[in-house]
Amino acid sequence: MSAEIQSPVQIPVLADGLFVHTAKVDGPLETDVTLPNISCKRCTLQVIQFMEQHLVNNPGMFTYHHCAVLQITADPKKPIDAAWPKER
């Protein structure tokens, strides 16, 4: 069982296919994610983790979700990321 990795990623996905592995990982995994240069008073950053060789997570089956609410302020020195709404 597996999930298709989006490459290249398309909005609203910021990263996909991180840390692909088939054996147990000992230790933390981390990455940097570049947020779009927009202003957003209440945006949600969601991490979805797919774990194939794991007990079923009801109701998510093999998928786990982790969310954080963020406030993003656009950097006026950089161009606004036009692919995203300017203000949310």
Helix (H, G, I), strand (E, B) or coil at 71: strand
pLDDT tens digits, residue range 51-70? 766 667 666 667 777 899 99
**H/E element, 59:** none
- 8 Å CB contact between 42 and 87: no
pLDDT tens digits, residue range 30-41? 999 999 999 999
Q: What pTM was computed for the model?
A: 0.70
Q: What's the rounded Cα separation, in Å, for the pair 4 and 16?
A: 9
Q: What's the rounded Cα separation, in Å, for the pair 74 and 6?
A: 26
